[in-house]
Amino acid sequence: MGEAEVFHEKQRLELCAIHALNNVLQERVFTKETADDICKRLAPQCVVNPHRSMLGTGNYDVNVIMAALQSRELAAVWWDKRRTVQSLCTSKVQGFILNVPSRVSLGIVSLPLRRRHWLAVRQVNGQYYNLDSKLKSPVCIGGDAELRTFLSEQLSQDVAEMLLVVRREVEEDGSWLDSENAQK
């Protein structure tokens, strides 16, 4: 399968949360306007909304991602990094949204600052892809073993976090966790 057949939104403003959502869903579902509406629902009385940038450029928090997924009958399960990724039941996971440190740059100049960045990983036609919106195109990770290596490397960064995107019933019954490998 060619990377051209994989849906991939590229970075614009501070909209990485929206891009990660759309990339993990493999279609353009959410926009800045829908994310801003979610922010207003989450904090209706706030003049300065705590779930996005004060500048109106995005930078949405995890609450917006979780509410967006809920609107699609999906759930976000926070991954406890004390577990090994070997305990994941990947067949029950629709995709992964990671929050990782990212360099800040102005044009071609990289600044000595680090910010948080949302990125998506998703299986398409049997192969997992890194769908980071900062990439020029999707990057094929490979199969299940390569996915687990990739996720382990990402999560080895102290401040990296991961959400599992699953159907609601999978969240409720906990089947995203492989009970045989849960203790590893």
- Is 8 among the catalytic positions? no
Q: Of 8, 16, 19, 51, which is the active-site residue? A: 16
Per-residue buried b or exposed e for 18-32, using 16+ beta carbons within 10 Å of the residue's own CB: bbbbbbbbbeeebeb
- Dihedral of the CA atoms 21, 23, 25, 29 (nearest 10)? 70
Catalytic residue among 8, 19, 51, 117: 117
Instruction: Say whether 46 is catalytic.
Output: no
Helix (H, G, I), strand (E, B) or coil at 62: helix
CA dist., res. 26 & res. 13, Å (int): 20
Q: How far is the C-alpha of 165 from the C-alpha of 163, rounded, in Å?
A: 6
DSSP β-ladder status, 139-142 and 127-130 = antiparallel
Exactly one of 39, 80, 132, 140 is catalytic; which is it?
A: 132
Q: Annotated catalytic, 80?
A: no
Active site residues: 16, 117, 132
